[in-house]
A = this chain, B = another copy of it.
């Protein structure tokens, strides 16, 4: 058996990641949805490595475009995201994660969801309270 043949199973193990159509920057959008309530908590990006790490760890790992590096969600705040399920859309270019949100806070503002503003009569109204201040979360206070 050649080394190439020996590696075939390992190669097959990553076939699923080949099905993902990363964009020109090597990124794919990822939507995180609360597994219990169905609420959409956040939206971020993943590169190939982030996707692999997310599946390997069972916790969401994104790629921070602003910092240009992997971002294990909750590594600083403790608000990690246990991944229950990952879905891929019809075009293979968007991921949907069903997650359990540690601490009940997904947003860096200290709110449950990043989508805390609703359009009402031509204005963005804040609908969610801050559950924990960013200072308390990140220790910058």
Residues of A within 8 A of B (CB): 12-13, 15-16, 19, 29, 31, 33, 37-40, 42-43, 55, 85-91, 94, 96, 107-109, 111, 114-119, 122-124
- Please give, as numbers and ranges, the residues of chain B lying within 8 Å of A31 by CB-CB distance: 31, 40, 43
Tell me whether B40 and A33 are in contact (CB under 8 A). yes
Complex CA distance for A99 and B16, rounded to whole angstroms: 31
Number of copies: 2
Contact B43 A94 (CB under 8 A): yes
Cross-chain contact A39 with B42 (CB below 8 angstroms) = no
Q: Given contacts A16-B123, A94-B115, list 14 more A-B pairs with CB under 8 A.
A: A12-B122, A13-B122, A16-B119, A16-B124, A29-B29, A33-B40, A38-B39, A85-B119, A87-B115, A87-B117, A88-B119, A89-B114, A90-B107, A90-B108
A115 surroundings in chain B (CB, below 8 A): 87-89, 94, 96
Identity of the chain B residue whose Cβ is nearest the Cβ of A119 in the assembled complex = B86
Distance in Å: Cβ of A40 to nearest Cβ of chain B: 5
